[in-house]
Every structure is written in structure tokens, then in C-alpha cells.
Amino acid sequence: MRVGFIGLGSQGGPMARRIVEGGFELTLWARRAASLEPYADTAAKTAGTPAELGAASDLVCLCVVGDDDVREVISGDDGVLAGMAPGGIIAIHSTVHPDTCSEIGKLAAAKRVSVIDAPVSGGGPAVEAGTLLVMVGGDEADAERARPVFATYADPIVHLGPLGSGQVAKILNNLLFTANLGSAMSALALGESLGVPRERLCEVVTRGSANSKALGSIAAFGGSLDNLAPIAGALLQKDCRHAATLAAKASAAEGAVFDAADAALHLMDHPR
């Protein structure tokens, strides 16, 4: 399978490297030539436009930031779809709204190209260890065709259902992570008011039954959100907004988990 990859950031870059090192024919495209330089020592080829990349690929993986970025690289005269042949697959690794996946799916279907959503969790270290979590939505046969490529950097690869279901799972995962950030910060602030330094409480809880990925992230940044907020804040805000629209569409009660997430996002806007 010929693979194209767009989105060579801190997470997508290691994913692309694992693909080419796994023996797949890989083509890359980036807006900035500097983003392609780290792959000069690999067998990866480069394309002049997303359309050129699409023409050279059976599977195109996208790991750009948000909904508008996905639309931009896929559509238009120079977009991926303009070059892809019928029977190809587009995998959206970006975390976007499920409706965006449906929108792209309709555009692609007109060209007989399939779309699967495949958001990820775990970050660069998980990619390098081959243990990235991939949450897949879309036709099961398309997911199975893409699985050998995903397996170069991911384990587990979980197929969740129709197109968009991978995004639902990722958005809910990030909603709960954000709520956990809020709960952890509240506990650390309470401990500090009772005379227990944040750093020491982080050390205790990360070794105890209340440990969580959220608390571990806070501990890694010195017990506060000051340094974590610029990295994760905007992305988590985007995902919590998506969660709110999904909950409204499902007529679901937002409840305490949204309240805790809101508290965490407020702290990210006004870290202390």
C-alpha cells in the first residue's frame, strides 16, 4: 500500500517515520520545506501539492490540527481528493467534529474514495514505542485495509463503528481528561491550603490509588497548569466545545463532568 502523510508535527512526525521505517512507500507534503528536512535520511518521497500526494497514495493519513485544516488539505483543485484515484482511503487522525467527518465522507464518496476517522491518544512517546491508541470509525473493511499501516505505530487499534464514532470516543476521552485535570487541581489546591506542598502531594498521589493521567501530567509540569496550559489548553477547549454540541444533539444532561471540565479550562485561561 502506498501511503501519503500530511501533518508532520510533534505527533504526526514520529508516525510518518514509523510508517516509512515499517517498509511502506511513503509520500509527504508540508507547507514549509523545513518540516520535510528531518525525513531526508529516509526513503520517503515528497509531493509539491496535496493533490500530487493524493495521486501517489492508496491511503492518505491526515494529522493536522483542526476541522478547517482538514477541509483545506482535502478539498479544492490542489486538495488530496483532486489527485486520489477511486478505491483510495483517507484516514483523519486529527481530532475533529464527527459532522466534519461526515461532510468529508460525502465529498470523497463522489470520487469513490473512502474516509475513516482515526483520532489518536498517547503522544510522541507512545508513537515511538508503537503503543499509540487509535480509535477508528468507518467501514470495517476500510479499517482493516488501513490496519497494517496503523500497526507500525499503534497498539491497540480499536474499531468503534460507523464514520465519526472514533471522533466521538476521542472527544469524550478528552472531556473526561479535562474534568480530571479540574478535579486534580482542586485536590492539590486543598492540600496546599492544609499545609501539604503541591509537589509532595503529587509525589504521593501518583504512587497511590487516586493516580491518573491528568494528575501525572500536572505533576510533570511542577504541580500547576502554568506550563501545561499553553500546550494543551486550546486543543482541550476545542474538544470540550465539540463534546457540548454532541451532548446537546443527543439531548444528554451535561452534568458534573462538564462542570469539572469548565473549571479546568478556566484555570488554563487564568493559570496560577
Last residue of a domain, one of 107, 140, 162: 162
d(CA 219, CA 241): 26
Same domain, 141 and 180: no
Q: Are residues 31 and 96 in the same domain?
A: yes
Q: Give the model confidence (pLDDT) of 175-214 as tens digits.
A: 889 889 989 999 999 999 999 999 999 999 999 999 999 9
Alpha helix stretches (DSSP H) within 78-164:
80-83, 98-109, 123-129, 140-150
Same domain, 204 and 258: yes
Is residue 189 domain-shared with residue 262, that is, in the same domain?
A: yes
Same-domain status, 52 and 89: yes
**pLDDT at residue 40, rounded to an integer:** 95
How many Cβ atoms are within 10 Å of 16's Cβ, its own excluded?
27
**Same domain assignment for residues 139 and 188:** no
Domain end: 132, 147, 162, which one?
162
Structural domain total, the chain? 2
> Based on the domain organization, do 200 and 123 belong to the same domain?
no
What's the confidence (pLDDT) of residue 260? 65
**What does the pLDDT read at residue 268?**
67
Q: Which of 144, 162, 180 is the last residue of a domain?
A: 162
What is residue 227's predicted lDDT score, i.e. its pLDDT? 74
Here the CATH number for the domain that contains residue 135 is: 3.40.50.720
The CATH number of the domain holding residue 197 is 1.10.1040.10
CA gap 137, 112 in Å, rounded:
18
Answer yes or no: do 38 and 53 share one domain. yes
- CA dihedral (181, 182, 186, 187) in degrees, to 10, reads -40
Q: What is the pLDDT of residue 256?
A: 62
Segments forming the whole domain that contains residue 179: 168-269
Q: Do 90 and 62 reside in the same domain of the chain?
A: yes
170 among known catalytic residues: yes
CB–CB of 8/35 below 8 Å? Answer: yes
Which residues of the chain have a pLDDT value below 50?
272
Integer Cα distance of 260 and 125 in angstroms: 28
Query: Which one is catalytic: 45, 106, 111, 170?
Result: 170
Helix (H) or strand (E) holding 74: helix 67-74
Q: What pLDDT score was predicted for residue 225? A: 81
* Planar angle of CA 125, 257, 63, nearest 5 degrees: 35
pTM: 0.89
Instruction: Answer yes or no: do 153 and 182 share one domain.
Output: no
142 lies in the same domain as 261: no
- 123 plus 14 within the same structural domain: yes
Residue pLDDT, tens place only, 236-259: 888 888 888 888 887 766 666 777
pLDDT at residue number 118? 98
